[in-house]
Structure 1
Amino acid sequence: MVRLLRAVGSSFFEPPTSQFPISQRDKMTTTHKAIDALVAHLGFDPPRCRAVARRLKENGTLPLGHAGKAPELEIWHFIDLLIGVCVDVPLRAVPETVALYRGLAPGAANMTGAPSHLRKSAGDYLDILAEMAASGTPDDRRDVSKSRIEIVSTWPEIAVQDVETTFRFQPVGSLPDVWQGTKHRQAITINGAAFVKAVRELFAGETI
């Protein structure tokens, strides 16, 4: 799914950005449909999804609609909503928490000064996975389907496990790949196959 680079003892990924540019697309979706997909395919609580979406709209993270027109969501908006629903924080803290988790670094590494194609955060990685699910080849979709996305609430961490390895994204400066606290680790795990179904329903027009 990705090409690994070894640097300073950490695993850095090189996403296939040339194949999967995150850009404007012909097929977009609405907030309402995104919520329905999160509920139907990923099993999230409908009231929580609606409340998170409303808070992200108020903050400007999700777009607002216009008179007589529902807001249109890009693929990265769906990832914002997904992260917001997963994190166990009060609604008032959802926007800043989504921004924090989006910025988590691979292996907790400080990527300042690294080539631009390597300066990819957890949010970038999830955007690319969603793009692969939406418009990649059948092999790409199968790869994403075999993955698992874990969003930890006890401390800031996102882990993506594929058939070969696990990519962990944590705050810069933290100890990578270790328990980040003394509390019980609380996380939500997203099945890759369900993730692909949700994304393709929203951005590829498939009814699964």
Structure 2
Amino acid sequence: MATLNASLIAIEQHMGFPQSRSRTVSRRLQERDVIPIGAPGVAPELEAHDVVSLIIALAADTALHEAPDAVERYRALTPGGVDLTDAPASLDTAGRALDIFADIAIHGSADLLRRDRIEFVSNFAEVAIHDATSGRTKRFAPVGHALGSQRPPQEHDHQRQRIVDAINALFGRK
């Protein structure tokens, strides 16, 4: 667990999202129970899943009031926009894939993840994970969206190294 304040500092240091914006976004997420609020006199404690949700909200670059919905929308993205109803449990949503990367950063070999990239498209809900080792790209999109039918003009590319470093700073082995 990491405090909200430590999370905001790590996200700013490693990813460049200003604490002023991150703090406001985190309040919106707390208001909708996306991340924990804490208790009177007790700082909110975040798990890796919560920090990933905060990173998603910041990378989605939406209006403040849309941040909680953006987290839900991006977490629900599916590989290639396919419907996962009745699909094997091994097929992950974007949210689950990002949580797995956070888990690997904490417990596994973070060095392997640093060569890859995660791309958040902010004006159209899409996440692309570019694997440098295999040369493959896994794209997550809304259910029913045909990938490649339109390529949004605005993208935010966040090197996975920065995400891994932020997560590792908060939860990694000391």
TM-score by length of 2: 0.93
Runs ≥4 in structure 1, deviation > 6 angstroms?
none
When Rg is computed on C-alpha atoms for both structures, the one with the higher figure is: 1
> Is the Cα–Cα contact under 8 Å of residues 107 and 177 in structure 1 kept in the other structure?
no
Is 1:141 the counterpart of 2:110 in the alignment?
yes
Alignment partner of 2:145 out of 174, 178, 186: 174
Please list, as runs of the form range in 1=range in 2, the aligned pairs for 1:191-202 lying within 5 A after superposition.
191-202=159-170
Q: How far apart are residue 117 of structure 1 and its match?
A: 2.4
Deviates more, 1:59-68 or 1:122-131: 59-68
Partner of 1:10: none
Alignment partner of 2:98 out of 126, 131, 138: 126
Following the alignment from structure 1 to structure 2, what is the Cα–Cα distance between the partners of residues 152 and 197? Answer: 21
Partner of 2:62: 89
**Percent identical residues:** 37
TM-score by length of 1: 0.79
Q: How far apart are residue 205 of structure 1 and its match?
A: 5.2
Partner of 1:37: 10
Is 1:203 the counterpart of 2:154 in the alignment?
no
Please list, as runs of the form range in 1=range in 2, the aligned pairs for 1:25-104 lying within 5 A after superposition.
28-104=1-77
Following the alignment from structure 2 to structure 1, what is the Cα–Cα distance between the partners of residues 96 and 111? Answer: 20
Q: How far apart are residue 177 of structure 1 and its match?
A: 3.5
Following the alignment from structure 1 to structure 2, what is the Cα–Cα distance between the partners of residues 178 and 167? Answer: 16
Following the alignment from structure 2 to structure 1, what is the Cα–Cα distance between the partners of residues 40 and 24? Answer: 21
> Is the Cα–Cα contact under 8 Å of residues 106 and 173 in structure 2 kept in the other structure?
no
Amino acid paired to 2:94? A
Alignment partner of 2:122 out of 141, 153, 157: 153
Following the alignment from structure 1 to structure 2, what is the Cα–Cα distance between the partners of residues 169 and 162? Answer: 14
Following the alignment from structure 1 to structure 2, what is the Cα–Cα distance between the partners of residues 52 and 185? Answer: 24
Q: How far apart are residue 188 of structure 1 and its match?
A: 1.6
Amino acid paired to 2:96? D
Following the alignment from structure 2 to structure 1, what is the Cα–Cα distance between the partners of residues 37 and 102? Answer: 22
